[in-house]
Chains A and B, each alone.
Chain A
């Protein structure tokens, strides 16, 4: 559709959001990501039955952990759409990017820089 979405977003393709583990999300933040979001199929339409449900639950778990460790659960999000909904994809990207801009950089990243300095 050749819609625009922010260039700050790095896309990692997976066969199903069900492949995403809590560990992947946490490691991303550990390595300095400012935000992580998963975009999966609409609930009820998962080709692998409930991969997107698993993903949602893992995102929720990650949110809790990130709140506890001082990174912030708002930095991680689950979105659902169908493969034809290109406009939504762009919308989610914009929404997420705006949110992360407001939240500022990942504190882990900042603290690492400080340490290095």
Chain B
């Protein structure tokens, strides 16, 4: 899922201080799972902001709505009828949701309430780690299911580098060396011979480097 983290409330306060009627818009999907922008977080943020501005003598109308998602037209349309009651939206969705909302509600600013961090998984409650860089050309079949693009700090395809130490990455002892993991897995799967295949230079044109990306599925378009 997309993993995000709450923005410091000070940033949000700065963004909305000139507005009077704000809608805090949450999302029921990824940001709910990573406890950054779901219904609960919307409630907490809204309550905190209401108290803050009241204490500053600058009381604002701060409402709360949580949509199923903010990356599909249908769900964003659900607030069409009430949108004219507000002069700003703080979206707690990921960067996708913030932008999609902004595209649909042109008459007011849409501010982000979270920092979108990465594509990752829940290791345990409260800990999320990156797993995918959306490079557009998945190579997991050759690396024992472990991605060197997202999990190696140098995205080395013929690893490990000389900095791998006791299974940890040179930049931080808390980070696993992806190549150690890959080697361990290849060993386990009895595929160590694969290790000596030289990985060809990657075509990065399907990742960010190639420009903003698009997927079209003609078979499902109407």
Q: Do chains A and B touch in the complex (CB under 8 A)?
A: yes
Instruction: Please list the residues of chain A having a beta carbon within 8 angstroms of any beta carbon in chain B.
Output: 21-23, 26-27, 29-30, 65-66, 68-71, 107-108, 111-112, 114-115
Q: A65-B9, A68-B9, A68-B10 are in contact. Are A23 and B52 (CB under 8 A)?
A: no
From B9, B51, B57, contact of A30 by CB (8 A): B51
What are 17 A-B pairs with beta-carbon distances under 8 A? A22-B40, A22-B44, A27-B43, A29-B47, A30-B47, A30-B50, A65-B9, A65-B48, A68-B9, A68-B10, A68-B48, A69-B9, A69-B48, A70-B55, A107-B55, A108-B54, A111-B55
Q: Is the CB of B59 within 8 A of A115?
A: yes
| Secondary structure call for the B interface | helix
7 nearest A-B residue pairs (beta carbon):
A69-B52, A26-B47, A70-B55, A69-B51, A23-B43, A111-B54, A65-B48
A/B pair count, beta carbons within 8 Å: 51
| A21 partner residues in chain B, CB cutoff 8 A | 40
| A114 partner residues in chain B, CB cutoff 8 A | 57
Q: Which residue of A lies closest to B54 (CB)?
A: A111
In the bound assembly, the distance between CA atoms of A97 and B51 in angstroms comes to 22
In the bound assembly, the distance between CA atoms of A110 and B198 in angstroms comes to 71
In the bound assembly, the distance between CA atoms of A111 and B58 in angstroms comes to 10
Q: Is the CB of A108 within 8 A of B40?
A: no
Q: Is the CB of B57 within 8 A of A111?
A: yes
| A65 partner residues in chain B, CB cutoff 8 A | 9, 44, 48
Q: Is the CB of A23 within 8 A of B47?
A: yes
Q: Is the CB of B40 within 8 A of A71?
A: no
* Shortest Cβ gap from B122 to chain A (Å): 17
| B9 partner residues in chain A, CB cutoff 8 A | 65, 68-69
Render B33-64 as a binary contact track against A, CB cut-off 8 A, 1 for contact: 00000001001100111111011110100000
Q: Which residue of B lies closest to A109 (CB)?
A: B54
From B10, B47, B51, contact of A70 by CB (8 A): B51
